[in-house]
Amino acid sequence: MDSFIAHKNYIIFYMDTIEIRFKCFSKIRELIDTQYIDIVVPKNITIKECFKEIIKKHNKIKIELLEISKYAINYKYTDINTQLNEKIEIAIITPISGG
């Protein structure tokens, strides 16, 4: 997806962006009362760099919870430093406790 971004109403530049869909489970899903978080971000962003956009959309989610969660792409766990360069769905798997 391509976007135009305005900066201080004076400069407009072209930016190559992608759509990312985060699928939420357990604690995060309970906090935001929805299964998905959709964001549009620049290409080659990392999962970790997406945290700010997630929190902007849902301020009930705390950065600490995102940092300790696990992430999966195509049913395989991946690192939060994984670069994203195409439209994709990422599962956010929060820690589960119980007894």
pLDDT digit string (tens) for 41-57? Answer: 999 999 999 999 999 99
Distance (Å) of CA 15 to CA 43, 56, 60, 67, 89: 9, 20, 29, 27, 21
Classified as helix, coil or strand, 18 is strand
> Are 20 and 84 contacting, i.e. CB atoms less than 8 angstroms apart?
yes
Residue 12 lies in a domain: no
User: Which residue positions in the chain have pLDDT lower than 70?
Assistant: 1-15, 97-99
CB distance 67 to 81 below 8 Å: no
Number of domains in the chain: 1
- CATH code of the domain containing 60: 3.10.20.30
Tell whether pTM > 0.95: no
Q: Is residue 41 part of a domain?
A: yes
With respect to residue 13, please indicate whether it lies within any of the assigned structural domains. Answer: no
Domain boundaries, position 57 = 18-93
